[in-house]
Amino acid sequence: MGLVMAIAPVVIVGGIVVYVIKRLKHKYNQGNLGKKKSKGAQDLLDSLIPMGMLFGCSIGVIFGMFSPIPLVFTVSLGAGIGYLFGFFAYEIYSKKGNNYS
């Protein structure tokens, strides 16, 4: 059981990271990464994925404090899930107005 708890976050988060990187690489190769007109909007767009990781990590810490699951497991899994949600937020926000054609 200890080995599974050590390997599971690496496998799950690794799969999430590979998926997000492949999707961003595909968008980059097609030339349709999100671009915003204003500098503030572009800065927000560029920081959505790291902010998702920070929020996921903090939720993992809070969840780990109140559950019997080891803290390392919840923090790493929270960061990975936050990375995925940050990517989805990036996708949604990049499709909203103010885009360059």
Tell me if 92 is assigned to some domain: yes
| Element containing residue 63 per DSSP (H, E) | helix 48-65
4: in domain: no
pLDDT of residue 75: 92
Q: Is residue 30 part of a domain?
A: no
- Check residue 21 and give its pLDDT: 95
Q: Give percent above pLDDT 70 in the chain.
A: 95
Please give the tally of structural domains in the chain.
1
pLDDT in tens, 60-80: 999 999 999 888 889 999 999
Residue scoring higher pLDDT (73 or 1): 73
Closest CA to 94 of 21, 44, 25, 28: 44
Q: Which domain holds residue 88?
A: 35-101
- The answer to the question of residue 25 being in a domain is no
Assess if residue 49 is contained within a domain: yes
Residue 101's pLDDT band, with cuts at 50, 70 and 90, is very low
Report if residue 17 sits inside a domain. no
Task: Answer whether residue 9 is part of any domain.
Answer: no
Q: Global pTM?
A: 0.85
